Amino acid sequence: MVQAQTVHIRLLTRDDAAAYQAVRLRALQESPDAFTVSYSEEVDQPLTHFAAMLEIAPTFGAFVGGKLVGLIGVSIGRWLKLRHRATIIRVYVAPELRGQGIARRLLDAALAYARQQPQIEILDLEVTVGNEVARRMYAEAGFVSYGVNRRAFKIDDQYYDVEMMALDLKRDSR
Ligand X SMILES: CC(C)(COP(=O)(O)OP(=O)(O)OC[C@H]1O[C@@H](n2cnc3c(N)ncnc32)[C@H](O)[C@@H]1OP(=O)(O)O)[C@@H](O)C(=O)NCCC(=O)NCCS
- Binding-site ranges for ligand X (CB under 6 A): 31, 34, 91-93, 98-104, 127, 131, 133-134, 136-137, 140
CB nearer to ligand X: give 1 or 80.
Answer: 1
DSSP letters, the chain, are ---GGGEEEEE--GGGHHHHHHHHHHHHHH-GGG-SS-HHHHTT--HHHHHHHHHHS-EEEEEETTEEEEEEEEEE--SGGGTTEEEEEEEEE-GGGTTSSHHHHHHHHHHHHHHHSTT--EEEEEEETT-HHHHHHHHHTT-EEEEEEEEEEEETTEEEEEEEEEEETTT---
CB nearer to ligand X: give 54 or 64.
Answer: 64
Shortest Å, Cβ 24 to ligand X:
11
Shortest Å, Cβ 48 to ligand X:
25
Shortest Å, Cβ 36 to ligand X:
10
Q: What are phi and psi of 120, to 5 degrees?
A: -85, 120
CB nearer to ligand X: give 15 or 35.
Answer: 35
CB nearer to ligand X: give 4 or 46.
Answer: 4
Distances (CA, A) of 31 to 77, 91, 116, 167: 26, 11, 31, 25
CB nearer to ligand X: give 46 or 130.
Answer: 130
Shortest Å, Cβ 131 to ligand X:
5
Shortest Å, Cβ 118 to ligand X:
26
